[in-house]
Amino acid sequence: MGARATIRITHPDAVAITTRAATEIDRLEGVFSLYRPDSALARLNAAGRLDAPPFELLECLTLAGSVHVASGGLFDPTVQRLWETWAEAAIAGRRPTQSEIEAALALTGWSRVRVDTGAVVIEPGMALTLNGIAQGYVADRVAALLEAEGLFDVLIDTGELRALGGRPGGGVWPVRLAQGGEVGLQGRALATSAPLGTTFDPEGRCGHILDPRTGQPEPSAWRAVSVTAPQAALADALSTALCLTKVKAEADAVCDHFADVTIESLLPA
């Protein structure tokens, strides 16, 4: 999914264990990747329907729906056509026209997605992206695999961090935030999102986190947002959604829908 993965582990069979973890990551790429035309998500986007969807896709979409509701629609996986519109315009060295944005907006809306165990269905022309949640979900699945192997005191980094236990020898995993400060992780996950981490313009002012209500990369109140939660997928989705909030009280209200979630950093823009 375009991110590097690191696993910090102390174990006599570390090489074999990390190989199994890498195999699991590759398997999950086959579910969530937009870069693999044969992935479950890519096939859904191409056909508008995916029968007998894999459990992992259903689980991730269900959580995405919960964060969508909690955030008042700020987190919306149906922005893929919007993202493509901005990316294609950027390649051409311009901003998309308002008519192009409106055409892409007409292909967004979480209420137009049907998710159940028999099939996932989207309306014609729509497409989903799980880039705001899937990296965290992969970290959670790797953590579950390692825990089933009897391992603890492991730190998994798939672009989002998931600590299984604490640091070998005792204590928390110390994680330094790029925006300053440090978070200690033990049995928790950390995700950080930065609206201008990737931009659509050479000046670096047009961020990649698009507002699904307007279709625009609205100026963010925050330069970086860091969230800890019991699951990396939840932290991942929330940190993405909070980039579109305007004040801390709004960010707090989103997180209040979920247990044991902490906003570790809201760095003003």
From CA 152, how far away is CA 136, in angstroms rounded? 18
163 and 188 in contact (C-beta within 8 Å)?
yes
pLDDT(241) > 70 = yes
Beta bridge partners of 121: 49, 114
**Dihedral sign, CA of 229, 225, 71, 5?**
negative
- When pLDDT is cut at 50, 70 and 90, the band that residue 1 belongs to is low
- Contact residues for 152 (Cβ-Cβ < 8 A; gap 6+): 164, 165
Residues 23-55: tens digit of each pLDDT: 999 999 999 999 999 999 999 999 999 999 999
From CA 197, how far away is CA 71, in angstroms rounded? 21
Amino acid of residue 169: G
Q: Where are the domains of the chain?
A: 6-33+49-268
Compute CA 143 distance to the chain's CA centroid, rounded to the nearest angstrom. Answer: 16
- Contact residues for 100 (Cβ-Cβ < 8 A; gap 6+): 85, 89
* Residue with more model confidence, 13 or 187: 187
Beta bridge partners of 207: 199
- When pLDDT is cut at 50, 70 and 90, the band that residue 175 belongs to is very high
CATH number of 6-33+49-268: 3.10.520.10
pLDDT of residue 2: 64
pLDDT(6) > 70 = yes
Instruction: Report helix, strand or coil for 261.
Output: coil
**First-last CA distance in the chain:** 28
Please give the C-alpha separations between residue 25 and each of 4, 28, 31, 33, 236, in angstroms, as whole numbers.
11, 5, 10, 11, 17
- When pLDDT is cut at 50, 70 and 90, the band that residue 218 belongs to is confident
- When pLDDT is cut at 50, 70 and 90, the band that residue 78 belongs to is very high
Helices (H), the chain: 14-32, 40-47, 55-70, 80-91, 98-105, 134-148, 232-242, 248-255
Residues 123-172: tens digit of each pLDDT: 999 999 999 999 999 999 999 999 998 898 999 999 999 999 999 889 99
Can you tell me the mean pLDDT for 71-81? 98
pLDDT(268) > 90 = yes
